Amino acid sequence: MKILLIEDSILLKDNITFFLKEENFTVDTADDGETGNNKALKNNYDLIILDLMLPKMDGASIVKSLKSNKINTPILVLTSKAQIEDKVALFNLGCDDYLTKPFASAELLVRIHSLLRRTHNISSPVIKIADLEINTSNKQVVRCGRKIELTSKEYMILEYFAYNKNKVITKAELAEHIWGKDIGLLTMINSLDFHIQNLRKKIDSGFKHKILNTKRGFGFILID
């Protein structure tokens, strides 16, 4: 899943980025409001983490800009304001959730997964696709009671499919959400083919019902 982090504190930005990458998220960053707003308008993200106090363009202005441009990406605000009226103002502005600084990494992760599930109308940390279970909390994957060991990239791909189950995902979309734009698209797609081949063997081999399917000329779909 691809997250945009807009935070001007270099230390906090680096710490959050490192933590999220360890949790298998793809992270794009901006250290001022103007750059962050432009990235949010031009690119597709699964979640935006936004500090309120930013140079060039404050967080509230970014939220207004995104809403006026019909960008419905969930927004998690980082704020040092703890008064109830400030929190109410954030929700009235259009934010989806907030964290009061300082916060624990574990709480940040819980809020992120909660927003992602809410966005995709998923109520439980365990996503079920037919007889396959994906626990987004501990990254454990099980099918018919058998634990399936995945690499970090394989898990990232499977989780993205799971959040978008029964929806055709193109190679370009999947590659961008897994790798971002750090490397060339052709390189990403070649690598993607390799990982999907291995993922398909692990979750579908030996089972009559094939969960991960190819829609030739379009992309891939995880069928419930």
Q: What is the pTM of this model?
A: 0.81
- Determine the residue type at 136: T
The domain defined by 2-119 folds into Rossmann fold (3.40.50)
Q: What is the CATH number of domain 126-222?
A: 1.10.10.10
**Amino acid residing at 125:** P
pLDDT given for residue 87 in this prediction:
73
Identity of the residue numbered 109: L
Q: Is the pLDDT of residue 84 over 90?
A: no
184 pLDDT above the threshold of 70? no
Of residues 221 and 187, more confidently modeled: 221
Amino acid type, 167: K
**pLDDT for res 185:** 61
Mean pLDDT over 145-171 rounds to 92
Q: What is the pLDDT of residue 91?
A: 80
Number of C-beta neighbours around residue 217 at 10 A: 5
Query: How many other C-beta atoms can be found within 10 angstroms of the C-beta atom of residue 146?
Result: 9
Residue 183: pLDDT over 60: no
Average pLDDT of 121-127? Answer: 85
Burial of 97 (0-12, 13-18, 19+ CB in 10 A): middle
pLDDT tens digits, one per residue of 86-101? 677 778 888 889 888 8
Q: Which residue has the higher pLDDT, 114 or 179?
A: 114
The pLDDT value given to residue 186: 63
- Beta-bridge partner residues of 51: 78
Domain ranges, ordered by start, for the chain: 2-119, 126-222
Q: pLDDT tens for residues 28-72?
A: 999 999 999 999 999 989 999 999 889 999 988 999 999 999 998
Task: Tell me which residue has tokens 């419905």.
Answer: 72
The residue assigned the tokens 């109410």 is 88
Q: Is 172 helix (H, G, I), strand (E, B) or coil?
A: helix
